[in-house]
Amino acid sequence: MRVRVLPVAELKRQLLPQGGTSLWLDLPDGTTIGDVIRQLDVKVTDRLIVGLDGSYAPLDTPLHDNAELTLVTPMEGG
């Protein structure tokens, strides 16, 4: 299956250092959101907000072909 990953803010700089807005991954059936995060070696998993096709989703959610996975770190500041 093929999944589009849309990293936002800090994750965009981490995962797309050459620029761009998204990346496509070819993954085996049964892959979960957590599997993708581990594969991408995302460093901020304790603060990560994940969207699957526009809705929040837990890390154990299985992905489907042409899924759109949005990865966001919460804003910091004061």
The residue segments making up the domain with residue 28 are 2-72
How much of the chain exceeds pLDDT 90, in percent?
65
In-domain check, residue 20: yes
How far is C-alpha 50 from the geometric centre of its chain's CA atoms?
7
In-domain check, residue 61: yes
Say how far apart CA 40 and CA 71 lie, in whole Å: 11
pLDDT of residue 58: 93
pLDDT averaged over the chain? Answer: 90
Q: How many domains would you assign to the chain?
A: 1
**Helix ranges restricted to H, the chain:** 10-15, 33-40
Q: Which pTM does this prediction carry?
A: 0.88
In-domain check, residue 68: yes
pLDDT of residue 76: 53
- 41-78 pLDDT per residue, tens: 887 667 788 999 999 999 999 999 999 999 998 765 44
End-to-end CA distance of the chain: 41
In-domain check, residue 7: yes
- The answer for 23, left when phi > 0, alpha when psi is -120 to 50, beta otherwise, is beta
CATH number reported for the structural domain that contains residue 37 in this entry:
3.10.20.30
In-domain check, residue 62: yes
pLDDT of residue 47: 79
